[in-house]
Amino acid sequence: MRAIEIWESLLSKSDKEVIKIARSYGVELTIEEVRRLRPLAERANITWLVTGIPKNVLKEAEKILGPKKFKQYKKILDGYYQ
């Protein structure tokens, strides 16, 4: 549930709280990254829990985070869906 917790926190937590949650899972986010990820999180749909986050959303997240941070996040996410 870690990856989903990070994603959900974008909707309900302050920038600093999101950074703290992400850091606890080994993903270092900046305030700018958190703010740029929020619009993606607002598009979240309950079906994503079953189907996974759509590829186009993941690509947008990768553009925001860069390949290294995205890979860290994706590793957590892949563990959720396995």
Confidence (pTM): 0.81
Pairwise CA distance, residues 25 & 23, whole Å: 5
Residues 77 and 53 sit within 8 Å (Cβ to Cβ): yes
Q: Average pLDDT in the 19-37 region? A: 91
Q: Average pLDDT in the 63-80 region? A: 84
pLDDT (tens digit, 9 = 90+) per residue, 1-24?
566 677 788 889 999 999 998 888
**Nearest of 3, 19, 18 to residue 80 by alpha carbon:** 3
Pairwise CA distance, residues 21 & 24, whole Å: 5
pLDDT for 39 equals 94
Pairwise CA distance, residues 33 & 20, whole Å: 13
End-to-end CA distance of the chain: 11
Q: Which of the pair, 28 or 3, is modelled with greater confidence?
A: 28
CB atoms within 10 A of CB 74: 18
